[in-house]
Structure 1
Amino acid sequence: MPHLTRTARGATDTGIRLGFGIPGFAHPLVAPLEWGELTRPGTPLKWVVLNVANGPGERPDPHCLEAAGRLRNGGVRVLGHLDARHGARPFGELVSDAHRYLDWYQVDGFSLDRCPTERAALPEVRRTVTTLRALVDHAHIVLGHGTHPYPGYAETGDQLVTFAGPWSDYRWSQVAEWTADYPPERFCHFVHGMPRGHLEEALRIARWQGASTIYFTDRVGTDRVEGAGAGDPWESMPGYWDEIVSRIGTGVSE
């Protein structure tokens, strides 16, 4: 099968400990149960993206502030959502949004949605990430490519989203060979439209492809890497949330 072709890690990948990266639920007023579930003790949660209004919004939102505060008080990283628009977003706008996330929500880092993948765009992404790291001590930066980018991006972000899309593509996906040079903690997979009956297969694919951060859902919608909005598959929890939590286990290794 295509997802079992990784040669540099082989069977040792079965020991990969998985955890969740949450791409961004709907607003806490729309999805209160989802945000509440994230604070349940023992949930293997690595980080949660806060997306107020495709960014930080125009003013502080008390509901988002409360939700983010509960997570941070529980030791969970909260990342501000920044839309890079595949490299079309001006540097100044991204930094301005980052400042508002930090001032209003005290975020622990940022998720750069729709991050470019090309080699030519790498210097500008590196410039942006360097600036973001200067704003937050020990900032956690996730580059939301949604596919395998030029390998140099792995030296820029803390984590790369190397798959974001439907189950129909994921089950036949192949991993880029260069990823074998990096530990599983560097890679994230987001899969939507995945039926409950394929959960074990999906977990096996993530481990064999060397991605330790995942989010699987049976919701369907557009293929945006992160964020919440109309038709967004990430805006609510999967129907099998309890089952996937129990399969992964309690706590995370980081």
Structure 2
Amino acid sequence: MRHLLAPFYEHPTTAATAWKALERASHRLYGVILNPANGPGTAPDPAFATAAARLRETGTRVLGYVDTDYARRPHADVVRDLLNHRDWYGVTGAFFDQVSSGPEAVPHYRRLAVAARAADAGSLVLNHGTHPDPAYLKLAELLVTFEGTWQTYRTAEQPPPWTVTYPPDRFCHLVYAAPADADVAALAAERGAAVHCAVPGEGPHPWGTLPHGVGAVTPL
């Protein structure tokens, strides 16, 4: 089952072994988030273009990372990132980070979702990091409703009741600073999320390590 969403924010030339491990794990991957420079960067990076192409060949979704800064980032800047991801790396979807969770921002993100579809994003993932207003489910295929450490995840509150009316494959939990024996998949399923990721990385850059069980855990 393809239930593993992998944010892996390392360069393919310095982490070649890890990127190969992602290719080998394609049968488990919901998708891989491509993030050359907190977005697509200012110019095409051939190494990322090659890595994206190889993942696409395995049937893996490649999601272009776009920061929305909790609805503060201008619409035009987000659209530029979407188009550059498409034109430079051939991404098949978009991953919006730092997404607002309140109902007042839904119209803003509805416009961004329309822009993502116009930029050929077949899949859209919204990273709220918490449970948002349910109206966001109308905008995207997948909502990230938890992002944080394993310690926090273990004692996190149960999902709100409205989530049980939607399939688990609409929700994702991203967990870092997770020990190798942390059964994040089981706990995510218990909390109604079929998609997940657990990495050992800590500190300000936890997503420079691969998910547990996917080859090497540090960039080589």
Q: State the TM-score, normalized to the length of structure 2.
A: 0.92
1:25 maps onto 2:9 in alignment: yes
Aligned to 1:167: 150
Match of 1:61 in 2: 45
2:128 pairs with one of 132, 137, 145 = 145
Q: In the superposition, relative to structure 1, how do residues 18 and 172 fare at CA in structure 2: closer, same or farther (>3 Å)?
A: farther
For structure 1, list consecutive stretches of 5 or more residues without a partner in the other structure: 1-16, 222-230, 243-254
Report the Cα distance in structure 2 between the residues aligned to 1:144 and 1:35, rounded to whole angstroms: 23
Distance 1:117 1:102, change over 3 A: same
Q: Which residue of 2 aligns with 1:203?
A: 185
Aligned counterparts of 1:167 and 1:42: Cα–Cα separation in 2: 24
Per-residue CA distance 1:33-60 (angstroms, 9 max, x = gap): 2211011166401111100101111111
Question: 1:198 aligns to what SS in structure 2?
Answer: coil
Unaligned runs of 5+ in 2: 216-220
1:219 pairs with 2:201:
yes
Larger radius of gyration: 1
Whole-Å separation in 1 of the counterparts to 2:66 and 2:7: 12
CA deviation map 1:178-212 (0-9, x unaligned): 1111101101110011112332xx22211111111
Counterpart CA distance in 1 for 2:13 and 2:76 is 30
Normalised to the residue count of structure 1, the TM-score between the two structures is 0.80
Q: Which residue of 1 aligns with 2:63?
A: 79
Q: Which has the higher contact order (CA 8 A, sep 6+)?
A: 1
How far apart, in 1, do the equivalents of 2:11 and 2:160 lie?
35
Q: How does 1:92-241 map to 2 (within 5 A)?
A: 92-136=76-120, 139-173=122-156, 174-199=158-183, 202-221=184-203, 231-238=204-211, 240-241=213-214
User: Contact 1:25–1:35 at 8 Å: present in 2 too?
Assistant: no
